[in-house]
Chains A and B, each alone.
Chain A
Amino acid sequence: MDGGQTTTNTAPSGNSSDFVRKLYKMLEDPSYSEIVRWGDEGDSFVVLECEKFTKTILPKHFKHSNFASFVRQLNKYDFHKVRQNNEENGQSPYGQNAWEFKHPEFRANSKESLDNIRRKAPAPRKQTQSNEDSVPTQQIDLLNQQVLAQQQQIQHISDRYAQLSVDHQLMLQEVLRVQKTVLNHENVIHQVMTYLLSVDARQRRDSKASAPFPAQNQGGSTLSPSQVASMDDEPSSPLQHASKLLSDMNAEIQFNLTSLDTLGEPPKTGPVVSTPTPLDAQRNGIVRPPTAAGGPATNAALVYPKMNGEIEPVVYPVGATNGIDPMYSDHVNNVPYPMPKQEVDESRKQFPDNRKKSNHVDPGWMRSPHILLVEDDATCRQIGGKFLYSFSCVIDTAFDGLEAVNKIQGGSKYDLILMDIIMPNLDGVSACHLIRQFDRTPIIAMTSNIRSDDIQLYFQHGMDDVLPKPFTRKSLLEMLEKHLVHLKTNPPVMEGPQQPTAVTMAVQSSAAQSVKEDSSPGQSPATPMNNWQSPGQYQGMTAVPANLQPVQGQYVPATPAPATVYAVDQNGVQYPTAAPVPMPTAAARPQQRRQISDMSSAAENQNLAKRQRMYAQPMANPVQAARTG
């Protein structure tokens, strides 16, 4: 191989390898003689000190410091290491660590022969060179094509992306537009609902006032007890269902559901009216027997006919009662006094259940209510604040009445003020009195002092309601919902029923309401208190509208006052059931502020009578209890 290759390939002198020439040049430098030099014979060269050679000489001449690659390079040019072992003693004449390489054409003083030293594979090298011209062009063409293709792909993708983003924008705008439309529709629907409900309420009121008797006739003819019973569920459930759906919608997806709900509701209103009445009748019949020991049989009989007559007005009240009952029970529970839970009526049970469900749902405010929590006790403040926060309220707190008054005076606007009563510096009642000089924000007394005279004091100084301490999360929410109906996204549903109910309730419960108010003024503090505390005993009466009604009936006769119109209808019904103990005072007061509303429909009447409801009921109960007892 060696000889053939080298000899045959006679190339121009210029062709001699750089490496070989470098090597030769290096060996000509005498200063390296200790490290690398020509062999003694002149036909080889010897690396005496491998380490030094690698570190100092290689970098200078070959621009690297890798002895192994130097040796590889030598091998490529067909240099061979001279193996000393085979000869003589097996010892290199140049030392143990010396490396001796030789090539036939590589001799000292024979520079010309360097041209004969070539790489082992000159032929392939030349081929590659020739190929290099053609291959590159082919490859470049290929690459170019690929690049072009990729560029096109990228172009496509970017075009598509641009198109998609435009589409996306369009869709977004469209969605926003649809959202707005839906919201507008929702508002319209709410307004329509409110309007319808108010119209409905007005009509009922009118019909009641004008023709209670005709109504009775109708009821008697058209509705049998059984019918009534069947009716009961329908009206309430649709309304509740609708309102629940509405609230759910608000919380999550307002659009579809809301529209559906609204659509569903209007039709319901018509039927609802008729249906609710039956409920009342049932309630009255059912409730009365347990509550009033008097003449159950007669009462029941009487109740139905009369109820039928009033049926329409009653309907809404039914819905209202639902709201009310839960409230009441909550309060009862909250109140330290033990309450016997005698919810005998099936209708009642239904309502509480529904109520609970709805309570756990997001309140569904149109905007977060701003609540001022006035409370000196850190524990109550924290928990109350936390509860309010969980109802999506924006909370401000004041440590005492003074701070609260200052905040209101400073121009802070709230939707509701929760006011502790006993506080340092300025108590809640005084604070409320001051605030009422210039501000009408609803103020809820938050206190464990709920004796009737206490409560009367609160109302006298302009408070709107009382939330007995310790309040529960539920009772707090119900209080909010009661006084912030206007912030609810589904107010129409509630309000509509409430108003009508209020009216009807007022009629029915006017007596009861009056009772409450009456009781506070007329009765001694002690008796009211007892009544309050022991609502459980008479609770059936108090909590349930039915109870109230009987009371009303009782009182109604006694009281000629404003409630008379209503009283008439109810009287008929109620008289039989409840033992009539005429309360002069009660009669006079029946329609006073909140109590009336509270008593009758507390829950239902929220708009009108909401605030006093709770107290009124308890009040009424005591009175009733006293009377019945």
Chain B
Amino acid sequence: MAPTTPKKTKEEPASKGSLNFSLISDVIDQTTFEQILEMDDEDDRDFSHGIVFGFFDQAETTFENMETALESKNLGELSSLGHFLKGSSATLGLSKVKDACEKIQHYGAGKDESGTSDEPDEEVSLKNIKTTLEDVKRDYKEVEGYLRKFFGDSPAPSE
């Protein structure tokens, strides 16, 4: 759960057409991601490419919306945005991003990071979300880099 610092491994976990899942097992859930790849036609990656790059757009937009909601201190919106991105990232098996989104969802709902106990102080929740949002963006950039490489795209602009 805890976001570890996403320094890129020197062993190149991703190259075009292949992902070394063992190196990024905390970032991408192999089983989930591969079952999406299995849905591709034999000779191309059109389907998975579309899904993944659609998710990129979705994620960027959601992050922007989260920033906005953070400024307006709209905890409910933040929780809902966290839930939303949690769903799509989980579907792709992007575990790290999903975990962070789930935290945001819980914080936004006035809970602690696991959603089990209440956090009455809104300011604390907002602060937690702010931190977590930074984490999730970093996690997202990391996995985005892997995936863009995997799909043979130009590497994502670094942070």
B-side interface residues, number (CB < 8 Å): 26
Q: A336-B90, A422-B83 are in contact. Are A379 and B55 (CB under 8 A)?
A: yes
| A548 in contact (CB, < 8 A) | no
Instruction: Give the residue name and chain of the A residue nearest to B79 (CB).
Output: A422
CB of B84 within 8 A of CB of A377, answer yes
Q: A382-B54, A422-B83 are in contact. Are A472 and B35 (CB under 8 A)?
A: yes
| B124 in contact (CB, < 8 A) | no
Q: Within the assembled complex, what's the spacing in Å between the Cα atoms of A448 and B54?
A: 21
| B92 in contact (CB, < 8 A) | yes
Q: Within the assembled complex, what's the spacing in Å between the Cα atoms of A376 and B32?
A: 20
Q: Do most interface residues of chain A lie in helix, strand or loop, or is the interface mixed?
A: helix
| A171 in contact (CB, < 8 A) | no
Interface string of A11-47 (1 = CB under 8 A from B): 0000000000000000000000000000000000000
CB of B58 within 8 A of CB of A473, answer no
CB of A448 within 8 A of CB of B87, answer yes
CB of A378 within 8 A of CB of B86, answer no
A492-530 contacts to B, CB under 8 A, are 526, 529
Partner of B90 from A387, A420, A470, A529 at Cβ < 8 Å: A470
CB of A470 within 8 A of CB of B93, answer yes
Interface string of B46-73 (1 = CB under 8 A from A): 0100110011001000000000000000
> Which chain B residues border A380 with CB–CB below 8 Å?
87-88, 91
Q: A378-B54, A382-B50, A422-B80 are in contact. Are A473 and B35 (CB under 8 A)?
A: yes
CB of A378 within 8 A of CB of B90, answer no
> Which chain A residues border B47 with CB–CB below 8 Å?
386
Q: Within the assembled complex, what's the spacing in Å between the Cα atoms of A622 and B36?
A: 32
> Which chain B residues border A473 with CB–CB below 8 Å?
35, 38-39
| A370 in contact (CB, < 8 A) | no
Instruction: Give the residue name and chain of the B residue nearest to A446 (CB).
Output: B87
Least distance between A449 CB and chain B CB atoms (Å): 8
CB of A390 within 8 A of CB of B39, answer yes
CB of A469 within 8 A of CB of B91, answer yes
A348-390 contacts to B, CB under 8 A, are 376-380, 382-383, 386-387, 390
* Cross-chain pair count, CB within 8 angstroms: 61
Q: Within the assembled complex, what's the spacing in Å between the Cα atoms of A422 and B99?
A: 18
Q: Within the assembled complex, what's the spacing in Å between the Cα atoms of A377 and B88?
A: 7
Partner of B39 from A377, A386, A470, A529 at Cβ < 8 Å: A386
Instruction: Give the residue name and chain of the A residue nearest to B93 (CB).
Output: A470
Instruction: Give the residue name and chain of the B residue nearest to A387 (CB).
Output: B39
> Which chain B residues border A379 with CB–CB below 8 Å?
51, 54-55, 58, 87-88, 91-92
A-side interface residues, number (CB < 8 Å): 21
Least distance between A337 CB and chain B CB atoms (Å): 11
Interface string of B82-106 (1 = CB under 8 A from A): 0110111011110000110010000
Instruction: Give the residue name and chain of the B residue nearest to A383 (CB).
Output: B91
CB of B39 within 8 A of CB of A383, answer yes
CB of B39 within 8 A of CB of A333, answer no
CB of A470 within 8 A of CB of B54, answer no
> Which chain B residues border A376 with CB–CB below 8 Å?
84
Instruction: Give the residue name and chain of the B residue nearest to A379 (CB).
Output: B88
Instruction: Give the residue name and chain of the A residue nearest to B117 (CB).
Output: A526
Instruction: Give the residue name and chain of the B residue nearest to A529 (CB).
Output: B116
Least distance between B153 CB and chain A CB atoms (Å): 18
| B31 in contact (CB, < 8 A) | yes
Interface centre among A422, A448, A470, A473 (most CB of B within 10 A): A470
Q: Within the assembled complex, what's the spacing in Å between the Cα atoms of A377 and B57?
A: 12
Interface centre among A382, A472, A526 (most CB of B within 10 A): A382
Q: Within the assembled complex, what's the spacing in Å between the Cα atoms of A529 and B84?
A: 21
CB of B116 within 8 A of CB of A470, answer no
Instruction: Give the residue name and chain of the B residue nearest to A470 (CB).
Output: B90
Q: Within the assembled complex, what's the spacing in Å between the Cα atoms of A336 and B36?
A: 18
Least distance between B80 CB and chain A CB atoms (Å): 7
> Which chain B residues border A390 with CB–CB below 8 Å?
39
Q: A422-B80, A422-B83 are in contact. Are A378 and B39 (CB under 8 A)?
A: no
Contacts from A to B (Cβ < 8 Å):
333, 336, 376-380, 382-383, 386-387, 390, 420, 422, 448, 469-470, 472-473, 526, 529
Q: Can you name 14 A-B pairs with beta carbons within 8 Å?
A: A336-B99, A336-B102, A377-B87, A377-B88, A379-B54, A379-B92, A382-B51, A382-B54, A383-B39, A383-B92, A448-B83, A448-B86, A470-B91, A472-B32
The 3 A-B pairs at the shortest CB distance, nearest first, are namely A379-B88, A470-B90, A470-B91
Beyond A379-B54, A382-B51, A473-B38, 16 additional pairs, beta carbon < 8 A: A333-B31, A336-B99, A377-B84, A379-B87, A380-B87, A383-B92, A390-B39, A448-B83, A448-B86, A469-B87, A469-B91, A470-B32, A470-B87, A472-B31, A472-B32, A473-B35
